[in-house]
A and B are shown apart, each in its own frame.
Chain A
Amino acid sequence: PLASIFVCVGAAMAIVGVLVLLHREPLAGNAWVSLAAVSLAVLPAVLFLVRRGDRNAARRGHIGEEETGAQPRRERMATLAGELARAQDGESIAELLLAAATEGLEVEFASLALIEGTTATGLAARLDGRSLPWPGELQVDLERQPSGIATAVFEVAPLAVYDLASSPAGDRELAEAIGARSGAWAPLVAGETVLAVLAVATRGQRAFPAEDLALLQELASGAAPALERT
């Protein structure tokens, strides 16, 4: 019904316009007053077309911004892939990966734990931009201790926990040690084996949406071949 206004008003104006053209007499006997009326009647169509042009321009500008925003991320991932390929040992791979994870996801804490059999051992951890000295002390028994790491290993999939305080014991201890409220994990997979688990955590409560988990998994997947090589 709303769109029909445009068609009907347009057709009505065309009919009256043709009549004036044929009879060559001003509407209601006064050309100037009629011009004012016609101008008022045309205004909505002019506004509609002008506003629409503005919106299209704004949308094009927005898409342009998104594209330029995505470009650095792709470039960062490519740079990281190159650095990972040149890394000589597990520790340097972990450093690169954790720096990329804390920066890319804007989180305070990131860690990488190696999976050997049913045990996860901390390889590196980073808190507030600095490496933590105690990652080796972090040991998680994957079978006896339910945790985010164990779930990421057994499900071979990324996961997020909104409230670590209500999470299993293993995560609670870690959360208390670094004062974290929310966390996310992603496995580094080579073939069918989970080599390690990348974890991130925040001091504030944060729901890691699908795009955050996708980025975390992208980082983990990118580092897996380099870690397998070393």
Chain B
Amino acid sequence: SSESQAILLNAIPLLVGAALYLLSAGVLG
């Protein structure tokens, strides 16, 4: 369904991406 697609394909990648960016910022100090 469009709901589960939205969560699987958009929400989760966005949140993982956000975590990676914030992790990089933390590594950069």
How far, in angstroms, from A9 to B25 measured CA to CA in the complex? Answer: 10
Q: How many angstroms from the CA of A182 to the CA of B9 in the assembled complex?
A: 70
Which A residues lie within 8 Å of B25 (CB)? Answer: 3, 6-7, 10
Q: Which residues of B contact A26 (CB under 8 A)?
A: 2, 5-6, 9-10
Say yes or no for A214: interface residue by CB 8 A criterion. Answer: no
If over half of B's interface residues share one DSSP class (helix, strand or loop), that class is named, otherwise mixed; here it is helix
Q: Is A46's beta carbon under 8 Å from chain B?
A: yes
Residues 1 to 21 of chain A near chain B (Cβ within 8 Å): 3, 6-7, 9-14, 16-18, 20-21
B10-21 vs A, Cβ < 8 Å mask (1 yes, 0 no): 111111111111
Taking a contact as CB atoms under 8 Å apart, the answer to whether B23 and A49 are in contact is: yes
Q: How many A-B residue pairs have CB under 8 A?
A: 101
**Cβ–Cβ contact B13 & A42, under 8 A:** yes
In contact, B11 and A13 (Cβ under 8 angstroms): no
Known: A21-B7, A49-B27. A39 touches B13 (CB 8 A): yes
Top 8 closest pairs, chain A to chain B, by CB? A10-B21, A17-B14, A14-B18, A6-B25, A42-B17, A13-B18, A17-B15, A10-B22
- Can you report 8 residue pairs joining A to B where beta carbons are below 8 Å apart? A10-B21, A13-B14, A13-B15, A13-B21, A18-B15, A27-B10, A41-B17, A48-B27
